[in-house]
Amino acid sequence: MVNDAVTLGLMADFGREAKQQGFAVLGTASACEDAARAMHLENWLESGMHGSMAWMAERAHHRRSPQALWPEARSVICLGMSYAPALDPLLLEARPDLARISAYAQGADYHDVVKKALKRLARWLVAEASSGGHGEIGVKVFTDTAPVMEKPLAQAAGLGWQGKHTNLVSREYGSWLFLGEIYTTLDLPQNAPEPDNCGSCKACQDACPTDAFPAPYQLNARRCISYLTIEHKGAIPHEFRKAMGNRIYGCDDCLAVCPWNKFATAAHGHRAFLPRAELAAPELADLLTLDEAAFRKLFSGSPIKRIGHGRFIRNCLIAAGNSGQPQLIPLVEKLRGDADPIVAEAAGWAAGELGALKP
Ligand code: B12
Ligand code: SF4
Ligand code: SF4
């Protein structure tokens, strides 16, 4: 039997190791089900707010709690890696000739960076637990893609709270944390959950260009530009096209306006997420000329490659239609004959929008 002091010592060493692996913050939560959390997920799915993300519903029975996914799990170690940007992500709003790529996607793909760091840490934990007398322990690591409710778990582990925009906000690292977890069979002491510090603020809700929040703490993904540009496969619904402006991949608006970000500096950011020069403020004209091979080359190692060439060009065409830049017309016209009907339709719309500017 291992005593509490040994476990606390192990976790103190683990904390140091996590920092070495690039994590800014960590905490521990229970793997048991939380009824309110599971109910909110159920309500959200029942109301269809997940849109076409069928994978959210398909494994909802696993997503509802850590033990539903892995009954042997006893504790969840939640970790956050910072990608705090050096520049305000809203700066490019006034530059319709340039495309806006969300801050999280201007550097390396976090799925790769966080997953690798989690695996290294999990291996360290297994080895140290074994040599420290805990015997053989089980671990599983996750970031983003698994059926795990990462934000409420991180709140329970004391990393921050779910703000009214639904993302986790940290007192120290603001809105700019990627989340990852290690589920383990180890019984670990738990952190106190972080209380909600939003107060009467509603800056994030007011900032949303598509009115995607039916109520505080609830997001209708079908209206969210992040969903429309990344997850949605068909034509972009007309009602959201103007509001998308020059955002071609994701959206940072509700995060960027959060007052808690004044404590998050770029110095906190992991260097893997420093913006690649060619992705910080790309010219729309350059992006519209990318063919499939050039798209793959430019976005190798970036999360943007996941949406594929067609969806990417569709997004750029919406931005072109919103740009008021008649010099883009020849590039847009060329894409009207594209074999992909979604691209061809978006090109037709953009040409109409730009043509309407001509006398
Ligand atoms: C699906 C998904 C999306 C969807 C839907 C987002 C959403 N809010 O659900 C879309 C595509 C829109 C999206 C967008 C983004 N995402 Co996303 N996404 C996810 C994913 C895969 C699942 C989230 C989920 O479980 N949603 C289901 C809902 C029900 O859960 P929830 O938001 O936690 O809801 C809680 C509250 O809203 C509350 N609640 C619900 N109803 C009610 C009712 C009342 C009355 C109350 C009080 C509370 C309440 O309870 C729920 C449970 O606690 C996670 C990864 C993961 N596995 O967790 C990443 C994740 C949330 N995304 C992430 C990021 C970075 C983003 C973007 C910022 C990317 C971008 N810049 O474009 C945007 C942010 C948009 C936004 N405002 O949320 C990060 C967030 C990190 C953080 N610090 O929080 C995550 C955690 C990925 C990661 N590993 O880092 N995302
Ligand atoms: S990411 Fe953009 S569109 Fe989505 S909820 Fe936030 S502000 Fe609204
Ligand atoms: S902008 Fe205001 S309401 Fe929104 S998450 Fe930040 S503190 Fe909370």
User: What mean pLDDT, rounded, does the chain reach?
Assistant: 96
Residues serving a catalytic function are 144
Whether 240 contacts 228, CB under 8 Å: yes
Q: In this predicted structure, what is the pLDDT of residue 132?
A: 86
Does 107 score more than 60 pLDDT? yes
Dist. CA 212 → ligand 2 center (Å): 7
Instruction: For the chain, give the percent of residues with pLDDT over 70.
Output: 98
Tell me the pLDDT tens digit for each residue of 258-288. Answer: 999 998 888 889 999 999 999 999 999 999 9
Q: Which residues contact 73 (CB under 8 A, 6 or more apart)?
A: 31, 66, 67, 138, 140, 183, 184, 185
Q: What are phi and psi of 139, to 5 degrees?
A: -140, 150
Q: Which residue's CA is minimally distant from atom 8 of ligand 3?
A: 198
Q: What is the largest CA-CA distance in the chain?
A: 83
Q: Is the CB of 109 under 6 A from ligand 1?
A: no
CA 130–ligand 3 middle distance (angstroms): 43
CA distance 266 to 176: 10
Q: What is the pLDDT of residue 5?
A: 82
CB burial of 76-96 (b: ≥16 within 10 Å; e: otherwise) equals bbbbbbbbbbeeebeebbeeb
What is the per-residue DSSP string for 134-154? Answer: --S--EEEE-SSSS--HHHHH
pLDDT > 90 fraction of the chain, expressed in percent and rounded: 93
Region class of 112: left (phi > 0), else alpha (psi between -120 and 50), else beta: alpha
**Level-2 CATH architecture, domain 203-262+274-355:** Alpha Horseshoe (1.25)
Q: What is the average per-residue pLDDT within 191-209?
A: 98
Task: Find residue 48's DSSP bridge partners.
Answer: none
Residue 356: predicted pLDDT: 62
pLDDT grade for 330, boundaries at 50, 70 and 90: very high
Quick check: 1 pLDDT over 80? no
pLDDT digits (tens, 9 = 90+) for 109-141: 999 999 999 999 999 999 999 988 888 999 999
The ranges of the chain annotated as CATH 1.25.10.10 are 203-262+274-355
If you average pLDDT over residues 294-307, what whole number do you get? 97
Confidence of residue 162 (pLDDT cuts 50, 70, 90): very high
pTM of the model: 0.97
At 18, is the secondary structure helix, strand, or coil? helix
| pLDDT given at position 359 | 46
Long-range contacts, stretch 285-289, CB < 8 angstroms, 24+ apart: 285/97, 285/327, 285/328, 285/331, 287/99, 287/248, 287/312, 287/313, 287/316, 288/313, 288/316, 288/317, 288/320, 288/328, 288/331, 288/332, 288/335, 289/331
Total residue count of the chain as it appears in this document: 359
Confidence band for 304, pLDDT divided at 50, 70 and 90: very high
Cβ < 6 A, ligand 3 pocket:
163-165, 169, 198, 201-204, 257-260
Which pLDDT score, from 0 to 100, does residue 267 have?
Answer: 80
CB of residue 318 inside a 6 A radius of ligand 2 = no
User: What does the alpha-carbon distance between residue 23 and residue 32 come to, in Å, rounded to a whole number?
Assistant: 25
Starting from the CA of residue 167, give the closest ligand. Answer: 1
**29 — pLDDT class (breaks 50, 70, 90):** very high
